[in-house]
Amino acid sequence: MPRYREIYIKKEAKIIVWRIEETEEQLLSLLVDYSLPESFHNYKSASHRKQFLSTQILLQAEGVLGEIYKDENGKPLLNNGFVSISHDSNYVAVMLSKKKCGIDLQSLSPKVLRISHKFYDQCDTPQEGDEVSFQTLIWSLKEALYKINGDPMVYFKEYLRINSINKNTADCSVLYPAYKSDYKMSIGKVDQLYLVYTI
């Protein structure tokens, strides 16, 4: 089975990144003893169908596909651990961890500038460098932070804070009272996409 990259974090977490180059038919053939959910047929985009199938294949290969369930907010959880999933264009990333986690893949796009007022707050770390790259990184960090709890009441601008960004890490906080905590995030790249996750 193709795996583009694997990352291990102190034996507590594992990240698998897959660059999807297979056809939909090839992906379907890699799923063993698996019945597609009815929702799969609602995906109009071939890209979304391939992202879904790739995710299921990775989870099956890790032996956790049957353990996954969703909480009241639709966040995926494991019986004995935690999972976070992200996809962008033809990439999928899955993070399996013994503690709460969040991961995000994000490609650079000027579109992020049109919505930055919805997630970037003046209390976040000041902007440095290229605006598109900076705002994409802030969005990606907050997306990963949000996935830790997956509660829709945790608004990006009000409750998720990027305190500082170093070369390969960021210090971040969740300010929402029920989940208030500080997190360190790893910052990396997969080809031209940002890959950020909790460490």
Give all domains of the chain, ordered by start, each with its CATH number: 5-100 (3.90.470.20), 104-198 (no CATH)
Over residues 38-60, the mean pLDDT reads: 92
Over residues 44-59, the mean pLDDT reads: 94
**Both structure tokens of 64:** 């956790």
The per-residue pLDDT for 5 is 86
Residues 6+ away with beta carbon under 8 Å from 2: 18, 19, 21, 22
pTM: 0.93
- Return left, alpha or beta for 35; rule: phi > 0 is left, psi -120 to 50 is alpha, else beta: beta
The per-residue pLDDT for 55 is 94
Angle between helices 112-119 and 131-149 (to 10 degrees): 50
The three-state secondary structure class of 92 is: strand
Instruction: Reply yes or no on whether the pLDDT at 32 is more than 80.
Output: yes
Burial of 168 (0-12, 13-18, 19+ CB in 10 A): exposed
Instruction: Reply yes or no on whether the pLDDT at 56 is more than 90.
Output: yes
Looking up tokens 């971040």 gives 172
Instruction: Identify the H or E element spanning 174.
Output: strand 169-174
pLDDT tens figures, 94-120: 999 999 999 999 999 999 999 999 999
